[in-house]
Amino acid sequence: MKKSIQLLTSIFLLSIILQSCSSESEETSIAASELEQELALENNGVLKIESATYIFKSTGETAKFLHNDRDFNFIFLNEFAYEFPENEKHAIEGLTITNPETEEFMVLSGFEELKNGFVEFDVELSTGQTLSSVLYKPGKANASSNKWHGDPMLEEPSPVIGAMIELSQQAAVQQCRAASEACSNTNGVPTVALTNGKGWFTAIEACAIECHD
């Protein structure tokens, strides 16, 4: 009888441990699935830079994730002035994108097309900042089989340039985002509406917070 009680006790304790492990696994899965759920929606492209993932939504907003967690959504209210050579193949010599109003630039080089549909490349900004192994994948609506890497990455307006600017302006964007915490605390999704000046990497001129359910 004692052996039966001990056996039942062991089974009961084991079931509790397994249930606990299962719950932790489910919580981890839910936390990791937020990015996957966003990626499953139709979008206009995905850009991955180090731990950040930028998803370009059809609404014009960009959803930014750090690792698997949503950081925030943002949108630039102003258009960016930029120029790039349209008649050259960029796989070897690189693609130089220039701000005609300020002579700021970004150079995309070392293009490599991966089997998963992404294009991998390196980026150098006129600020001196360099980014290695950046990944870009166009959305279904923008999918193209051509080897001219400026298309569709730089179709107007270009969210890729907006993401590069946001990445380079972290200090200014963080100040703008202070008010977004109140939205997040109510389980809302904040969208930071940014207005940039003529310069890409100089300053954020204005920002506003929009809170969505």
Q: Please name which of 170, 139, 144, 148 lies closest in space to residue 44, comparing C-alpha atoms.
A: 139
- pLDDT tens by residue, 105-114: 999 998 888 9
**What pLDDT sits at residue 53?**
97
- The more confidently predicted of residues 165 and 154 is 165
Q: Round to whole Å and give the CA distance between 8 and 78.
A: 68
**What pLDDT sits at residue 16?**
55
Three-state DSSP at 126 gives coil
Question: Do 32 and 93 fall within a single domain?
Answer: no
What mean pLDDT, rounded, does the chain reach?
A: 79
**What pLDDT sits at residue 90?**
57
Give the residue numbers spanning the domain of 8.
Answer: 1-40
Question: Do 136 and 80 fall within a single domain?
Answer: yes
Which residues have CB under 8 Å from 44's CB, separation 6+? 56, 57, 58, 138, 139, 141, 142, 159
Question: Do 16 and 100 fall within a single domain?
Answer: no
Question: Do 119 and 96 fall within a single domain?
Answer: yes
Q: Read off the pTM.
A: 0.78
How much is the average pLDDT of 134-139? 91
**What pLDDT sits at residue 120?**
92
Q: Quick check: 3 pLDDT over 80?
A: no
CA 22 to chain centre: 30
Count of H-run helices and E-run strands, the chain? 4, 10
Distances (CA, A) of 170 to 13, 58, 166, 167: 49, 24, 6, 6
Question: Do 18 and 56 fall within a single domain?
Answer: no
How much is the average pLDDT of 136-152? 62
Question: Do 19 and 62 fall within a single domain?
Answer: no
Question: Do 49 and 61 fall within a single domain?
Answer: yes
Q: Round to whole Å and give the CA distance between 73 and 96.
A: 27
